[in-house]
Amino acid sequence: MNEENVAIRKFRADDYDAVMALWKASGLPFKPNGRDSREKILKEITQGIASFLVAIKGDTIIGTVLATHDGRKGWINRLAVATEFRGLGIAQRLLEEAEKTLYDRGIEIIACLIEDYNQTSMSFFQKSGYIKHTDIFYFTKRRHPGV
């Protein structure tokens, strides 16, 4: 199988269950009863601040990426490729498409947050031109644990 047989398109509402299964299989932390609920994801993509893309082979979703922005900085979220399709350039294609959507909106800084144990993602983003900052600490305030 080569990556030419893979198409990238926008996420559709009926993709939700397959995307959640991919995230779970990929080991991505997600909150299906909070920020990653069907309703919250659909709201996010209809507000115009997010571009949610999926990679498909035939009718099967094999990759995802969610690009969001706050008007000045873009964020790459939920970049995942099914295990059996890794190493074929699909993640790179998804990342480049996500970056393009942000650049097309005038966003000039793109960032991502990666858990400290995820060496594979850190290596991928560094090879893709992202710079690791060790002098920044990430703080959150959550309305409740499910978000």
- Model-wide pTM > 0.85: yes
Residue 147 reports pLDDT greater than 90: no
pLDDT value at residue 146 = 74
Query: What helix, strand, coil percent values describe the chain, rounded to 5?
Result: 35, 25, 40
Residue 147 domain flag:
no
Residue 146 domain flag:
no
Domain of 64 in residue numbering reads as 3-127
Residue 122 reports pLDDT greater than 70: yes
pLDDT value at residue 32 = 84
What domain count does the chain have?
1
Q: How many helices and strands in the chain, by DSSP H and E?
A: 4, 5
pLDDT digits (tens, 9 = 90+) for 70-97: 999 999 999 999 999 999 999 999 999 9
Name every residue whose Cβ is closer than 8 Å to that of residue 72 and which is 6 or more positions away in sequence: 107, 109
pLDDT digits (tens, 9 = 90+) for 16-72: 999 999 999 998 888 888 888 999 999 988 888 899 999 999 999 999 999 999 999
Domain containing 104 — which CATH number? 3.40.630.30
Separation CA 125–CA 119 (nearest Å): 10
